[in-house]
Structure 1
Amino acid sequence: MNIPIIVTSCINPNAPLTKLQDPKIRIDVTIDALKKICKHADNIVFCDGSAFDISAELKKHPEFDNKNIEVLFFKNDTKSVEMFGKGFGEGEIVNYAVEHSEYIHSSTCFAKLTSKLYVDNLQKCLKAFNSTGFFVPVPSFREEMIDTRFYIVDKNFYNKNLKKVYKKVRDLEGIYLEHVFYDVLIKLDKHKYVARVMPIIRGVSGTFNTNYSSDNKMKYFIKTLRLKYLSIFSNSKEK
């Protein structure tokens, strides 16, 4: 299945609690992650919510020659992002991409990946998509949040359940996009949206200005078992 990947970007950030502010560094780490994504993805939709056109930067790197990268950019609701947080801005970016991307227009689903990050086992995750949802609840066995760094979702499912929830984000009050996604998804059947494969996410966090180190084999094994447990447990409850 050819699933377009939305890479959500904000080269010139204006959200509170974002430690990596330098646009030059943000461009560099974004380009580095995109190079890795291109090795495993067919269609990429790069969408920036700070009105930054990354096209000129892409032309500097031969790795992007003949790659299917659709570049979108617009100016998000700056005042709301400053007031409510980066999850509010991310919601606007995803919605803009869904509404304006030619790749997504011709697809029934899409993946979303935060810029500056990449997924080592991307193809494995895409193949594991069940045609409805691919979300990872966190942390441990207390699913109080959904990992919104990377997910895969059917467009109709997204539009019906998740399109508008970003408006509830209040970063300064400790209410993040991860929480509002969870509040919606927890009410639905888990087997419809819990991921079957644990994504191996690497890259740089713009929020914390830190590198995501790779999990050791034992930690990754435990996370994978947890996803299987959630799937089996949800199915057994429905029966």
Structure 2
Amino acid sequence: MSLESKDLTPAIVLTGTIVPNTDLYTKYINPQQRRQEYLDALSFYSQFGRVYFLENSSYPLEADSDFQSIPNVVLRKSPVSDFPQRGKGFQEFEMLDFWLARENDMPQSWLKVTGRYIYFYFQEIYNECLNSPDKKMIINQYLFSKWSDTGLFFVQTDYYKKNIVGIYSQCNDREGSFVEAVLFKKLRSLNEKEFKRFSNPLTCAGIAGHTGKKIQNQWRDVINLRVREVNYIFDKRYIWLSF
């Protein structure tokens, strides 16, 4: 489906793979269960703004009336990756680049969400992105582990095209080059005044693809809330602390 209305509010980009094409770090492979969780996620996020659903598996997405019928959702089909053995991060950012190169109705900014996960505090998260016009990117960076949280981030389209397009080519899970580490290294080389971390903890519900089990957030919530308090005391532009 296509949407005629266009505004400057951030879009939401959900990435999805209904039929996994690799078993590398992927234990949750039931297509019907995954399909239903994507439908649930799209119904949830479409309440907040326009949603682009990017899907890169062999599943016939555009023939599925349940996906077609969700209001405020744009379906974008990407080809199955030629290099599934390089991992989920490689394929996800490959899919983002494919979309960016071909989208005729490109939003000026967007939140990327790993498709099946429902984030708590999402209204607050979305409002923070909406009210941060001076920030090119909002993303949590984990200094101790040298890791970027790629599950959810906000970015200006021009900034992404200039600085992040193409980094998926450096990713290879089999060799330990995970996209979270590749992106962390890239962002540390840029002007950190142009981006910040989220004020609210990023906690979510769903089934983790790499374990096939429900995501557990409790201990991480407590730690990140304490980190948030520290970040409000100091200048958050220079605090890259999380766990």
TM-score relative to the length of structure 2: 0.81
* TM-aligned CA distance change 1:228 to 1:96, over 3 Å: farther
Aligned partners of 2:17 and 2:57 also within 8 Å: yes
Paired residues for 1:51-200 under 5 Å: 51-55=58-62, 57=64, 59=66, 64=70, 67-78=71-82, 80-82=83-85, 84-103=86-105, 105=106, 107-129=107-129, 130-131=132-133, 132-138=136-142, 141-142=143-144, 144-197=146-199, 198-200=201-203
From 216, 220, 223, the counterpart of 1:213: 216
Q: Which structure 1 residue ranges, 5 or more long, are not aligned?
A: none
Alignment match, 2:16: 9
CA distance in 1: counterparts of 2:94 and 2:67, whole angstroms: 28
Alignment match, 1:46: 53
Aligned partners of 1:134 and 1:196 also within 8 Å: yes
Q: Which structure 2 residue ranges, 5 or more long, are not aligned?
A: 1-7
Q: Which has the higher strand share?
A: 1
Q: CA deviation at 1:230?
A: 7.5
Aligned partners of 1:76 and 1:92 also within 8 Å: no
Aligned partners of 1:51 and 1:74 also within 8 Å: no
* TM-aligned CA distance change 1:115 to 1:232, over 3 Å: closer
* TM-aligned CA distance change 1:60 to 1:182, over 3 Å: closer
* TM-aligned CA distance change 1:231 to 1:201, over 3 Å: farther
From 30, 33, 44, the counterpart of 1:22: 30
Aligned partners of 1:70 and 1:101 also within 8 Å: no
- What is the RMSD computed on CA atoms of the aligned residues? 2.5
Q: How many residue pairs align between the two structures?
A: 225
Q: Which has the higher helix share?
A: 1
Aligned partners of 2:27 and 2:211 also within 8 Å: yes
Instruction: Specify the SS of the correspondent of 2:162.
Output: helix
Alignment match, 2:5: none
* TM-aligned CA distance change 1:150 to 1:227, over 3 Å: farther
* Dislocated runs of 4+, deviation >6 Å: none
Aligned partners of 1:7 and 1:113 also within 8 Å: yes
Q: CA deviation at 1:3?
A: 1.1
CA distance in 1: counterparts of 2:187 and 2:233, whole angstroms: 17
Q: CA deviation at 1:227?
A: 4.9
Aligned partners of 2:37 and 2:116 also within 8 Å: yes
CA distance in 2: counterparts of 1:184 and 1:177, whole angstroms: 10
Instruction: Specify the SS of the correspondent of 1:205.
Output: coil
Alignment match, 2:39: 31
1:225 aligns with 2:229: yes
TM-score relative to the length of structure 1: 0.83
* TM-aligned CA distance change 1:97 to 1:221, over 3 Å: same
* TM-aligned CA distance change 1:184 to 1:149, over 3 Å: same
Instruction: Specify the SS of the correspondent of 2:139.
Output: strand
